[in-house]
Each structure stands twice: as structure tokens, then as C-alpha cells.
Amino acid sequence: DKAGYKHFMAKEIAEQPTVLQGALAHYIDAAGGSVTLPDPGIDFAGIERLTLVACGTAFYACMVAKYWFEQIARLPVEIDVASEFRYREPPVTPGTAALFVSQSGETADTLAALRYMAGKADRILSVVNVAESSIARESDLALPILAGVEVGVASTKAFTCQLTTLALLVLKAARDRGEIDDAILADHLAALRRLPGIMNAALNIETATRDLAQELSEARDILFLGRGAMYPLALEGALKLKEISYIHAEAYASGELKHGPIALVDPAVPVIVMAPTDGLFDKTVSNMQEVMARGGKVLLITDAAGARTASDGVWKTLILPDVPPFLAPILYAIPAQLLAYHTAIAKGTDVDQPRNLAKSVTVE
Ligand code: M6R
């Protein structure tokens, strides 16, 4: 049931503040001071290394989580797409935990990667939406993301709920490992609890994205740029756009631009730059200026402070509410989703059932 929306994707985008709030309430204890996991739990003090494996959008959630686990919990992380992972035959050293992220819990490659790690890793964890799925059943600890049923082939609310669940796990790991104290943990949890409200406000950019969509829908190629944890968001924006609008979209870490992709820049290739004001903002802006100096048409997605300092000469700016840098990747999923959705509508494609794609990929 689309609950009055034109597409499941639109409904699922709009549901995000509500489902996120439910997930936060599930994992944060009543006093708001700690993260509670289902039995048997895990103590990250005894973990030396984490391997994160998934496909598609779930893989981009893992990419964001790698930045978080390494920066906040000081835990070394390796990530891989599930279709490559087991064929690399990675050696597994003691102290390794493996974490698999999957909306459906039935993706064939992710399940095969989990089975490769069973008996090799100290612990098998999963972050899943379907709690009764094979991946959940075969894990030592399965963490539900509580997004509710996701029908649209393009994953939206599952992505933000995966990120939220992973953020909570990162904070638990950071506390277990003594990298943050109780006061800092409580501050982070309070910030997370404010996120559904901020996300609600961010959904107001819908009108602005609709206005941009007509022009984007006429492009043959679109580039996305981001740095740090915004790089996986750029990848997610490009994947979403490819999946439902069939426009060729590619994402690069902003700093990679001058190593090749800048050759593609011309006025016919919109370049979408995802840049909240954080420690990397100035560097991203200087990459953006390199694009503009070559005639590139830039759509800057940033916050009010970013728009004040960096909007000169850009084609369009989308302004999101302020959010702590740690949580920006969750919030910046909203413009990635809305731009893809409205561009697909402008092109007249089948948003919920894009050609050649299945919701759950259960064959290799
Ligand atoms: O069910 P899963 O999370 O394991 O699915 C993984 C990918 O197939 C999935 O995220 C796919 O990339 C989506 N269509 C992205 O929108």
C-alpha cells in the first residue's frame, strides 16, 4: 500500500524520520546513556580487526562505517564487495570479527561471504532488515535495522537505517575500547536522537530538487564528488540515479578528480558536490573550483555556512540543515534519493521497478 504516495520509493523516502526514530529507541537505553544490543551482544575490547562485506547500497553503508569505526573507535576495518570477497581468499587472523550488511538478508554473494567467514572469524555479525532471513539466522549476532518493509527496488530507508544501526555499533565499540567516555557517548546519543527531526526538516528540499530535475534529466552523464565519509554518499547518489533514471552517473573521491576524471568536465556534464562544512570542506571546495574553472556546471549540496562561503559561481546550491559532522552521511542520503527520484520522474521511467533489476539478488 503506497499510503497516498505516487510510488513506494516516495513513501519510503518520507518514512525515514519515523523509522529512524524507532531504530534509535530500540537500541538506546531508556536513560539515554548507553547502546543495548540483542543477546549475546559483543564486547569490542577483545576485537582487533573488523571485516565489513555487502553489495550495492549496503556496501556503501559499510564504506561510511569504515570511516566511523576507524576514526571514532580506532578499530582497523577492511571492506569488500561480497562478490569479490571470498574469491580473494583473504587470510583471517585471530581477533577478527566479520560484519555483513543486507536489507533482504538473502543476497547470494553476501550469504556466501558469510559462510566463507564462518569458523574463521571470531564473531559473525549482521545488520539486516529482514529479521528471519538466512544471513540473520547464520550470524552469531544479528542487528535488525527496523526499517519496515522496503518495496522500491532502489534502497532508501534501509540505507539510512543501516547507517543509523552502524553508527550505534560504532559508539558501542568506541566505549568498549575506551576511546570515548560516558559523557561523550551520551552527547553522541543525544545528537543521534535529534537526527529524525533534522531529517524531517531536510525533506523540505524536495521542491528544490524537483525544480532541478528537469535539467538534470537532460544530461547524458552526471558526476558526483565527495570527500571522507561523503565519498560513499557520492557513490550512493550515483547508484540511485543510474538505477532509476538510467543516466550514466559516476562518483569520485574529490581528490581523485585531477588524476583523470576532470577530463570529462564540460558544460554538458553536471557535477554534484556533496560538502557539509567539516574538516574537509575547504579541500572539497577547491576541487569544486577546479571543475568550475573548466566550465563545469556545479550543483553544491551543503549547509547554510557552506552556501555562504562557497556558492559563488556554482549553478545551483541545495541547503540542508546543520548536523554534527559524524551524522552528515545519514542526512545527505536525502538529497541523493530525492535527486534520483525526481530526475527519474522527469524522464518518465518506472521508479519502483527499474528495468533489469530485482529487489533481492539471490543468484550469484
Ligand atoms: O538486500 P541487500 O541489502 O543485500 O541488497 C544489496 C543490493 O542488491 C542493493 O542494495 C542494491 O544495490 C539496491 N538496488 C540499491 O538501491
CA distance 189 to 229: 19
Over range 236-258, report the average pLDDT.
97
CB neighbour class for 340 (10 Å; exposed up to 12, middle 13-18, buried from 19): buried
Encode pLDDT of 6-32 as tens digits: 999 999 999 999 999 999 999 999 998
Over range 319-343, report the average pLDDT.
98
CA of 357 to the centre of ligand 1 (A): 10
CA of 135 to the centre of ligand 1 (A): 14
Over range 247-263, report the average pLDDT.
95
What DSSP assignment string belongs to 89-142?
Answer: -----TTEEEEEEESSS--HHHHHHHHHHTTTSSEEEEEESSTTSHHHHTSSEE
Over range 113-132, report the average pLDDT.
98
As given in the structure block, the three cell numbers for residue 224 are 558526483
Pocket of ligand 1, candidates 7, 129, 361, 362: which has the most ligand atoms within 8 Å of its Cβ, to mutate?
Answer: 361
Which pLDDT value is given to residue 140? 98
CA of 56 to the centre of ligand 1 (A): 5
Encode pLDDT of 79-122 as tens digits: 999 999 999 999 999 999 999 999 999 999 999 999 999 999 99
pLDDT at residue 68 tops 90? yes
CA of 209 to the centre of ligand 1 (A): 24
pLDDT at residue 253 tops 90? yes
Closest ligand 1 atom to residue 55 Cα is 6
Active site residue 66: no
Neighbouring residues of 132: CB distance < 8 A, sequence distance ≥ 6: 105
Pocket of ligand 1, candidates 13, 52, 57, 240: which has the most ligand atoms within 8 Å of its Cβ, to mutate?
Answer: 57
Encode pLDDT of 270-280 as tens digits: 999 999 999 99
pLDDT at residue 167 tops 90? yes
Q: Model confidence at 301, in pLDDT bands (50, 70, 90)? A: very high
Closest ligand 1 atom to residue 359 Cα is 14
CA distance 68 to 65: 5
Q: Are the C-beta atoms of 363 and 110 separated by less than 8 Å?
A: no
CA of 103 to the centre of ligand 1 (A): 7
As given in the structure block, the three cell numbers for residue 22 are 524507532
How far out from the chain centre does Cα 116 lie?
25
Encode pLDDT of 200-233 as tens digits: 999 999 999 999 999 999 999 999 999 999 999 9
pLDDT over 90 percentage in the chain: 98
Over range 35-59, report the average pLDDT.
97
CB atoms within 10 A of CB 361: 17
Over range 243-263, report the average pLDDT.
96
H-type helices in the chain, by residue range? 8-14, 16-27, 56-72, 82-85, 108-117, 134-137, 157-176, 182-202, 206-217, 230-245, 281-293, 304-310, 328-331, 333-347
As given in the structure block, the three cell numbers for residue 353 are 521497478
- Enumerate residues lining ligand 1, CB below 6 A: 55-58, 102-104, 107, 110, 153-155, 239, 243, 360-361
Q: Model confidence at 331, in pLDDT bands (50, 70, 90)? A: very high
Which pLDDT value is given to residue 78? 97
Task: Give, as one character, the DSSP assignment of residue 35.
Answer: B
In this structure, the residue with its CA closest to atom 8 of ligand 1 is: 56
CB atoms within 10 A of CB 278: 19
β-sheet bridge partners, residue 79:
52
Closest ligand 1 atom to residue 155 Cα is 16
Nearest C-alpha neighbor of 226 from the set 216, 217, 238:
238
Which pLDDT value is given to residue 32? 87
In this structure, the residue with its CA closest to atom 12 of ligand 1 is: 56
Residue from 120, 242, 283, 359 carrying the catalytic annotation: 359
Neighbouring residues of 47: CB distance < 8 A, sequence distance ≥ 6: 75, 95, 96, 97, 122, 123, 173
Closest ligand 1 atom to residue 154 Cα is 16
As given in the structure block, the three cell numbers for residue 57 are 547500497
CA distance 341 to 268: 21
CA distance 339 to 283: 24
For the chain, the distance separating the N- and C-terminal CA atoms, rounded to the nearest angstrom, is 31
pTM: predicted TM-score of the whole model, two decimal places:
0.98
Q: Model confidence at 364, in pLDDT bands (50, 70, 90)? A: confident
CA distance 154 to 337: 9
CA of 346 to the centre of ligand 1 (A): 24
Nearest C-alpha neighbor of 318 from the set 329, 305, 333, 307:
307
Angle ∠(291,296,300) on CA atoms, nearest 5: 75
The verdict on ipTM greater than 0.95 is yes
